[in-house]
Structure 1
Amino acid sequence: MWRYVGGWKLARMILPLLVLAAVMIMKDRLPEPADAPAGGDIAAAVDGEPLTVQELRLHMAEQRARVSAYFNAAYQAEESPAFWTTSYGGEIPLEKLKKEALAAAARSKIPMLLAKREGIVADISYAAFLQGFQSENERRAAAKKNRQPLYGPEQYRESEYYRVYQSNVTGELQKKLQLGSRFSEEELLRYYESRKEQLFKLPDTITVRRLTLTHPEAGSVLAGIKEKADAGMELEEAAAPYKEWAVWEETVTGGGSVRSSALSDPELMSRISSLGEGQVSDVFQANGKPWLAVCIGRAGNGYRAFHEVREGIRNTLASEAFRTLLEERIRDARVEINPQVYGRIRDAELP
């Protein structure tokens, strides 16, 4: 008999657009699904898709360090021959490792199941993955032998190619589903209006005067000038005693030039971007010199027009819809354990 261990509650994202942690909730026993292949290596099934011991062990290898660190932090337990089967506060490392690996494996199956549904891949079994893994390494070996361009490692390890394969399939799935996404003009406008201030506001035009000194103690002198300015004195007045060393520059940024200004003088832009009119920056370094800057003018430039950002908004909403779809499918995933196989995974079988 197979045992149903329920859906998944989400905690954080894994891979691009996947959700990381899950909690298994024990449910009633269910009969073995009719479409689950027979065989002694099927440890579980995710929405009816078999999960082999080999694939589960791959996830165990990836979770092993994290689980070991958890027991070390929680119980000061160190790895030893007995570590994985010893109970610490009622928790057994091997059982926690299997549970975490099962959760990770189940999460990895969800985009594969969706990709199969969408016709992106025909076979998402681990056996098919291993065939692709072998073929890819054979292709790489031939490319190296024939001195052809080769990107990435000469040969993939199984765990490396598993991540690459998962990422590629998930990317193709997202691309296909996003191309089919449809949003009304009202939905696009609503997104634009609700995030206009944070995302689509054009940079203000900011006019600043900045001051540096050729004085040998320029940094400490400027700090003293800054103190006087903070106390209410005009910057020019506070700097007057040092006029023979003073070097003043005026800079206007914003509108169409803010990006180029930020790239050419990023430190200045970071210091003045939040200054209100009349405010003086802290002392900062730029081009090997200490500076002070005072904002002498600031004017708003409005927002990017809706038609300019419409397609970007559509892509954002499509990405959010894809992420939500994955989250919902992971949360509702039906995971069934094959106790006879899952229970036989022992300490000696750890990767």
Structure 2
Amino acid sequence: MRMIARRSKIFLFLVAMFLITACYAGEDNRPGEEAVIKVNGSLVTKKELEWITGQSGLESGVELSVKEQALAVRTRVIQLEAVKRSIPVPIGEKSFLEAMDVENLRRSKALENNEPIYGPKQYTEKPYYHSLMTKAERALKDKLRGKEIDSSQEKLLAYYEAHKDKLARKMDSYWLEALVEPGESHDARKRAELLLDRLSAGEPFEKLYAERRSLKGLTAEEQINDADRRNVEKYREALYEGIKDMKVGEVRLAVIQDQDSFKIIRCVKRQQGGYSSFEEVRDNVTERYLEQEFDRIVKQWIDLAEIKVYH
């Protein structure tokens, strides 16, 4: 009996020592799988960090930058909060790779059966990781809306008023005159630069404009307003950047390449564009407001998170 009792004590002692060692290793030693950071008990591995940051070949043992830490923490916090709200998100390197294998198998079978798929035939790690994160964020925003995020009409209107200039300001209307040198060749630019030299030397724009007006294609008159905004911003960026701060009567002393020609512009008239109504920009206002409030809540989660960085 004494021998049995002694063996029992030795066994219990060894178990206790094992548990103490395990706890110590878990708390103070760097875990396996090349973990770089732990967020609320959930490890982010070096491989995962590469998917999150879009980088490749991150070196082991190299201290994380502030940006890398912030991205890793934000990503993991969002994933954990999504799972809390029953949004399916694979958390961790192993779970993610298993989910990607399942998705790629589904795509292979769909192609074999001539069924439609959207996106690539087979996902690779980084694109699939970002695809899942985009879906998780969207689903989480939907869950938060009306609960943690107050998206009432009153809140949206207040946001619209506070950000009116950025979200609803219409493009001003401009009446322009231009000295034009047709073509995109080096010689055409040189001719335009010679005109610019004359203007810089003090010759009036009106004089040069009058000299060239009877010659086809060497002058132009144009009105640009908010209805042209999308086209001008997308396809005539140099012109838009050149005119948006111009005052009436001002000559832009620069050669602008625009629509297969080089131009020197004068603003003849300018009229303020006003603002789009709330209803006209409601969708954009709602999207921007939800993004702002989502970022605010994520910051709160991060502030409360338990974070450990492994060097």
TM-score, length-scaled by structure 1: 0.62
Residue pairs, 1:166-315, within 5 angstroms? 166-178=133-145, 180=147, 181-183=149-151, 187-213=155-181, 219-230=189-200, 232-240=202-210, 245=215, 247-260=218-231, 265-281=236-252, 282-315=254-287
Contact map agreement 1:60 1:98 (CA 8 A) in 2: no
Q: Distance in 2 between matches of 1:284 and 1:194?
A: 35
Q: Distance in 2 between matches of 1:100 and 1:305?
A: 38
Q: How many residues align?
A: 279
Q: How far 1:278 moved relative to its partner?
A: 1.1
Contact map agreement 2:110 2:116 (CA 8 A) in 1: yes
Q: Deviations over 1:230-268 (max 9, x none)?
A: 455431213555566463321111143444555675543
Contact map agreement 1:58 1:159 (CA 8 A) in 2: no
Structure 2: segments with no counterpart, 5+ residues: 1-22
Q: Equivalent residue for 1:20?
A: none
Work out whether 1:118 is the aligned partner of 2:90: no
**Residues 1:137 and 1:221: Cα distance change in structure 2 (over 3 Å):** closer
Q: Deviations over 1:284-316 (max 9, x none)?
A: 233332222211111113212234334432332
Q: Distance in 1 between matches of 2:70 and 2:233?
A: 45
Q: Deviations over 1:143-179 (max 9, x none)?
A: 2333333444444445654443333223321233246
Contact map agreement 1:207 1:250 (CA 8 A) in 2: yes
Q: Distance in 2 between matches of 1:164 and 1:149?
A: 18
Q: Distance in 2 between matches of 1:206 and 1:111?
A: 46
Q: Distance in 2 between matches of 1:67 and 1:129?
A: 19
Q: Equivalent residue for 1:142?
A: 109
Q: Equivalent residue for 1:46?
A: 39
**Residues 1:203 and 1:2: Cα distance change in structure 2 (over 3 Å):** farther
**Residues 1:173 and 1:231: Cα distance change in structure 2 (over 3 Å):** same
**Residues 1:114 and 1:295: Cα distance change in structure 2 (over 3 Å):** same
Deviates more, 1:226-235 or 1:247-256: 226-235
SS state of the match for residue 163, structure 2?
Answer: helix
Deviates more, 1:97-106 or 1:207-216: 97-106
Q: Distance in 2 between matches of 1:294 and 1:99?
A: 48
Q: How far 1:127 moved relative to its partner?
A: 5.7
Q: Distance in 1 between matches of 2:101 and 2:134?
A: 18
SS state of the match for residue 174, structure 1?
Answer: helix
Q: How far 1:277 moved relative to its partner?
A: 1.1
Deviates more, 1:248-257 or 1:161-170: 161-170
Q: Equivalent residue for 1:328?
A: 300
Q: Distance in 2 between matches of 1:108 and 1:243?
A: 61
Q: Equivalent residue for 1:349?
A: none
Contact map agreement 2:172 2:272 (CA 8 A) in 1: yes
Q: Equivalent residue for 1:79?
A: none
User: What's the Cα RMSD here?
Assistant: 4.2
Contact map agreement 1:225 1:235 (CA 8 A) in 2: no
Q: How far 1:317 moved relative to its partner?
A: 1.7
Q: Distance in 1 between matches of 2:138 and 2:121?
A: 23
**Residues 1:108 and 1:4: Cα distance change in structure 2 (over 3 Å):** farther
Q: Distance in 2 between matches of 1:95 and 1:279?
A: 55
Contact map agreement 1:4 1:336 (CA 8 A) in 2: no
